[in-house]
Amino acid sequence: MTKAAAGSPENFNLEGQLALVTGASRGLGEGCALALARAGAGVVLAARDRDGLMLVADKIEELGRTAHVLAVDVTNLETFAAALDDLPKVDIFINNAGTNRPQPFLDVDVDTYDDVTNLNVRAAFFAAQAVARKMVKEKTEGCIIHMSSQAGHRALRDRSVYCSTKFALEGLNKTMAFELAEHNIRVNAVAPTFVETPMTRPSLDNQDFRDYVEGKIKLPRLGQVEDVASAVVFLASPAASMITGSSLLVDGGWTIH
C-alpha cells in the first residue's frame, strides 16, 4: 500500500483499527479512548468499573464508533489474558492502567510499595505480553503504547515508588520494541507531566504542591487530558510508522532543566 504524503490527513486516520485501552473508565484512559474513536478506531474499554466503562462507551457510540466493554482487573493476569481470546484482532494497545500513592521515601510502607508496583509494573508487563502474544499469533502488525510519566525520566518529590515503577516501564518499552520489531509491532511510551485528572486532583488541590508543579512546568499551564490523548493518537497512527522504542514527553518543558 502506498504511504500517504507527509501531512496528509489519512496519515492520522485509524479507520478499521481496533484499540484496546486499559484503565479506560476515567482520566487519561477515557481521554485516550475517545481520541482514538474520533480518529476512526473501534475501542475495547477495559477496567474494573463496569458502570464507568458504560458511560465512556456511550460517548464513543455517540461519535458513531463501536465500543466494547471489558470489565476486568488487569492485576488478575490469567483473567485478562483469557479475555483477549474473545476479541477480534487488536491493532492498538494502550497500556494505561496505573496508580500512585505519594509518600516520602522514609515513610513508604510495604503495602503501598506492593500495590503500586503490582499494578504499574507486574500487571503492565504481563498485559503487554498477553497482547503481544495475540498480535504475533495472529500476525497483526500492531502498535503498543505504554502510559509512562515524566517520573520515568526525573525524580519527583514524595514519589519514590511511582518513579521506580515508571523507570521500569521505560525500560520495558525499549526492550519490547527491540524484540518485537521483527514482527513489525511498534512499541512506544507517552510520558506526561502532571495532568488534571481524578487521580492527581487531591495533590493539585494542595496549593503548595500546585505551586511546585507550576514552577517546574516551563509552559504557562498544567497538562490536560487532551494533550496526552493527542500524543497517543499520533503514535498509534501511520504518521508514526517509523517510530519505535521512543518515549514521547508531554511535560510542558519540565525535563529540559
List residues with catalytic annotation: 162, 166
Number of H helices and E strands in the chain, helices first, is: 9, 7
Within 63-183, residue ranges assigned H as helices are 77-84, 110-117, 124-137, 160-180
197's grid cell: 485528572
Contact 125, 110 (CB under 8 A): no
Phi/psi for 97 (5° steps) reads -55, 130
Contact 200, 159 (CB under 8 A): no
Size (the chain), residues: 257
Which residues lie below 8 Å from residue 87, measured CB to CB, with a gap of 6+? 18, 20, 44, 68, 70, 134
